Every structure is written in structure tokens, then in C-alpha cells.
């Protein structure tokens, strides 16, 4: 994160803790991932969970501008939020929905994933009752081994027949999801893919055209060999690694930088206890800097006493417990620090001393997905283009600049 950009972010008043999202990085990442795929492969940008904490509307617009054909969300509400922002691209709701959401999903022209015949019937009942002019777009989800959501392989032809009977639904796609694509072994993914390929053959043999076929998340897309007609990319779009075994490709970089500022500096004396429970005690004279971020911001309590924090280009360390709204960082006495100094909690670790989201995730015994998607709504998002702030989103509402 360059100094001029940070200075520009700082010219806007508000709480010191901010998530800075570089929309150019989103676009570059998309192009870098596309560059590893067959040229004909379509790109579905997965922007569920507020684009893994990065801001769904801004990320969706950037992804579409960079050539994504479709978007994916987890819930109907998330899809509605994108429509409200004026986005007209196809939006697939990946997960199961409640029957009570069918009406709003149809009105907003969201594409629904169906995995059992009961939901197809419920959608048909709605379509008939509402006398819809346009059919409701659906993709059939096939459970090829993850046992989460979808039709079992032997149920797919019957389900597809139910979808294509009558005119209220339109079969626009068939897809599956891999359970182990980010693991070192390739075999479980190859096995799931083989099951899926058999299902596609059965569909075609039954005279059913599956529409757009898609199987790969980021990890499977980067492994290669599983692209099909479209890839569904989440984590790599944000410039983060799918796992410790599968890295985001060359040319990608983390889009998010989580920053704050020092709000108090105190000299600790030997024996001083820090934060709740005094789980850290100073061994001798040292410095403590107060940073206004806590677990209610998504800076997890599991980072207590273990996480590095970058202040003035050096690595400080969390001292004592992370509180709900505040955290204390410590360093040796001679470390340069003053109230107002810039703090970087996570971002591009190629920058001097900045912790990566992977590093924080490992220390909190979780994955980078959970860290970024857990960054709370109360942390304002600052959106960048060409190193300049082009949008701010905070609890007071979106302010276009």
C-alpha cells in the first residue's frame, strides 16, 4: 500500500480502522486467472458474503468490467442487493433457498440452483400462480460427492425432466462442487468429475441439453483440467490463495488492506499486565500501542498474544487479549511510534512487514476466507481506482465520490 494512497484515505474523516479495497487488483486478478484458462471459458465471479468482505457491489462491477460473464451469491438477499445497484448480469444463487423466497427471487430475475424435485415443484407453483411471462432460470446442482447440496447422480435425469416439463422453468446450467480441490491429492476431485461426466452423458442420452456446465471453484480452476464451460471463482479473485497447497496465480495480488492508527502509546514496566485477564505481562520496560480494532470488527480473539501487527514498517505483536473494539500491540522500547501512526493489520505481505491474511488465518486456526468475510459491516470500506479513493461504504450508507 503506497504512502500517497494511504494519505488520501486518511483525508476522509471517520474511524481510523478501515478496509481498503483496490478494484484494479480485482480486475487484474480476474485477467490473470482467465489467462490460465481456455479462451472460451466463461467467468462467474463469486461475490457471496459481501464479496468475501470486499464489498459485493463494487467487486461485482469491477469483475463485470474486466470480463466476467456471470455472478454468484449464496442467498436471495445478496442477489437482490446486486439488482438494487442496477446490475443486470445473470446472478446464480448457489445455495438452497426457502420456498418463501421464490417470489422475490423470480421478480429480481435471479437464477436458482435446484437440487431436488420438491423445490422444482414449488417454483412451478409460484410461476403458475404469478402467471410469469418469462420462465425462471435454473441450474441443476449435482451432488457428486460432497454431500452438502444437490441431486444425487441417479436423481438428475428425473429432476431435469421435471425442470424441462412445462414452460415455467428454463434449464440454463448444470453444475457440481468439489470437496477436495484445494487438497494436495488430485484423486478425489478426479473421482467427482468422473461422476459428473457420467451424469452429463445420461442427460444428453435422455435428450436434455444441460446448458452451461460448470464445476470448478478457484482451486479446481487453478489445478486445470476442470474448466468446462464456466469457472466459479471466489478466493483467487480477491488475490488470496485457495489453500496452502494451491496458490493464487502469478499476476494476482490481495485486493484488501486492513488498516488502523495508533491511538495511545504507553510505556509498560516490568510486571504490568495487559488487557482482560492480564494474559500478557511485561518482562521489562517496553512499549504498548493501542489500536482501535477488535473481534467485533472481525479481528479475531484467537489472535490474542500471537498476531503480528505492522507499525511504521516494523512488526509489533498483539499483547494480551484482543477486546471487542480494541487491541494492544507491543514492541521494544526504542521502536519508533506516536499517536496517529499508521497501522497495517493485514494485506499484501510482499510489502515490508505486512502480515498476510493467510498468516492471520493460520494463527487463528482458520482459513483466509473466514478472516476477510468476517470483517464486520462497521469497518468502513474505501474503494480505490488507480490509487485514488472512488467510493466509501460505511454504516451511514454508500457515499459515491
Identify which of residues 80 and 233 has a Cβ nearer to ligand PLP in the complex: 233
Which CB, 96 or 135, lies closer to ligand PLP? 96
Nearer Cβ to ligand PLP (174/219): 219
Instruction: Tell which positions 129-188 bind ligand PLP, by CB under 6 A.
Output: 177
Q: At what angle do helices 23-34 and 56-65 cross, to 10 degrees?
A: 50
Active-site residue 48, yes or no? yes
Q: Cα–Cα distance between 292 and 340 in angstroms, integer?
A: 11
Q: Which of 55, 79, 173, 234 binds ligand PLP (CB under 6 A)?
A: 234
Long-range contact list for 147-156, CB < 8 A, 24+ apart?
A: 148/177, 149/95, 149/96, 149/113, 149/115, 150/113, 150/115, 150/176, 150/177, 151/114, 151/115, 151/116, 153/195, 153/198, 153/199, 155/116, 155/117, 156/199, 156/202, 156/203
Give yes or no for residue 381 binding ligand PLP (CB under 6 A). no
Name the grid cell of 203: 442427460
Facing residues of 232 across strands? 44
Work out how close the CB of 236 gets to ligand PLP at its nearest, in angstroms, rounded to a whole number.
Answer: 6
Binding flag, residue 235, ligand PLP (CB under 6 A): yes
Binding residue count for ligand PLP, defined by CB under 6 A: 12
Please list every residue from 242 through 271 that binds ligand PLP, using CB under 6 A.
242
Q: How far is the CB of 115 from ligand PLP (least distance, A)?
A: 11
* String of contacts with ligand PLP for each residue 66-105, x by CB under 6 A: ----------------------------x-----------
Tell me which of 32, 33, 45, 46 binds ligand PLP, using CB under 6 A: 46
Which residues, at least 6 apart from 323, have a Cβ–Cβ distance to it below 8 Å? 275, 276, 294, 295
Shortest distance, position 155 Cβ to ligand PLP, whole Å: 18
Q: Name the nearest CA neighbour of 73 among 53, 97, 58, 51.
A: 51
Nearer to ligand PLP, 150 or 320 (CB): 150
Q: Is 223 in the site for ligand PLP (CB under 6 A)?
A: no
110 is a contact residue toward ligand PLP (CB under 6 A): no
Alpha-carbon distances, residue 235 vs 26, 41, 125, 231, 354 (angstroms): 11, 18, 37, 12, 20
Q: Which of 34, 48, 299, 383 is catalytic?
A: 48
Q: Does 232 bind ligand PLP (CB under 6 A)?
A: yes
CB of 125 to ligand PLP, least distance (A): 26
Q: Does 111 bind ligand PLP (CB under 6 A)?
A: no
Piece of 5-13, 58-66, 229-237, 330-338 that binds ligand PLP (CB under 6 A): 229-237
Is residue 326 near ligand PLP by the rule CB under 6 A?
no
Residues of this chain that interact with ligand PLP (CB under 6 A) are 46, 48, 94, 177, 217-219, 232-235, 242
- List residues with catalytic annotation: 48, 276
Amino acid at each position: 500500500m503506497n504512502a500517497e494512497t494511504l494519505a488520501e484515505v486518511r483525508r476522509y474523516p471517520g474511524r481510523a480502522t478501515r478496509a481498503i479495497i483496490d478494484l484494479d487488483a480485482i480486475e487484474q486478478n480476474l485477467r490473470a486467472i482467465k489467462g490460465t484458462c481456455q479462451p472460451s471459458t466463461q467467468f462467474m465471479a463469486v461475490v457471496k458474503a459481501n464479496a468475501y468482505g470486499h464489498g459485493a457491489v463494487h467487486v461485482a462491477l469491477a469483475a463485470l468490467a474486466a470480463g466476467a460473464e456471470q455472478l454468484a451469491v449464496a442467498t436471495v438477499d445478496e442477489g437482490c442487493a446486486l439488482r438494487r445497484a442496477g446490475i443486470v448480469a445473470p446472478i446464480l444463487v448457489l445455495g438452497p433457498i426457502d420456498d418463501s423466497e421464490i417470489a422475490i427471487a423470480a421478480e429480481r430475475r435471479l437464477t436458482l440452483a435446484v437440487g431436488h424435485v420438491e423445490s422444482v415443484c414449488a417454483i412451478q407453483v409460484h410461476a403458475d400462480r404469478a402467471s410469469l411471462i418469462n420462465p425462471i432460470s435454473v441450474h441443476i446442482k449435482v451432488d457428486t460427492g460432497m454431500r452438502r447440496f444437490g441431486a444425487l447422480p441417479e436423481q438428475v435425469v428425473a429432476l431435469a425432466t421435471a425442470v424441462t416439463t412445462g414452460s415455467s422453468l428454463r434449464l440454463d446450467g448444470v453444475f457440481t462442487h468439489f470437496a477436495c480441490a484445494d487438497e494436495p491429492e488430485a484423486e478425489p476431485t478426479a473421482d467427482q468429475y468422473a461422476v459428473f461426466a457420467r451424469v452429463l452423458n445420461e442427460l444428453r442420452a435422455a435428450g436434455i441439453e444441460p446448458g452451461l456446465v460448470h464445476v470448478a471453484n478457484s482451486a479446481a480452476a487453478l489445478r486445470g483440467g476442470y474448466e468446462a464451460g464456466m469457472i466459479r471463482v471466489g478466493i483467487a479473485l480477491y488475490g488470496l490463495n485457495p489453500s496452502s497447497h494451491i496458490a493464487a496465480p502469478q499476476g494476482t495480488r490481495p485486493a484488501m488492506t486492513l488498516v488502523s492508527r495508533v491511538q495511545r502509546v504507553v510505556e509498560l514496566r516490568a510486571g504490568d499486565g495487559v488487557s482482560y485477564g492480564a494474559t500478557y505481562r511485561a518482562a521489562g520496560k517496553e512499549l504498548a500501542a493501542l489500536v482501535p480494532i477488535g473481534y467485533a470488527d472481525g479481528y479475531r480473539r484467537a489472535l490474542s498474544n500471537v498476531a503480528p501487527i505492522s507499525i511504521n514498517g516494523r512488526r509489533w505483536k498483539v499483547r494480551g487479549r484482543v477486546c471487542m473494539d480494541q487491541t494492544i500491540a507491543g514492541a521494544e522500547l526504542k521502536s519508533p511510534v506516536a499517536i496517529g501512526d499508521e497501522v497495517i493489520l493485514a494485506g499484501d505481505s510482499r510489502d515490508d512487514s505486512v502480515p498476510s491474511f493467510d498468516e492471520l488465518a493460520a494463527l487463528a486456526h482458520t482459513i483466509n476466507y473466514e478472516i476477510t468475510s468476517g470483517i464486520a459491516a462497521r469497518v468502513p470500506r474505501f474503494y480505490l481506482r488507480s490509487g485514488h479513493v472512488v467510493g466509501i461504504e460505511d454504516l451511514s450508507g454508500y457515499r459515491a465520490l
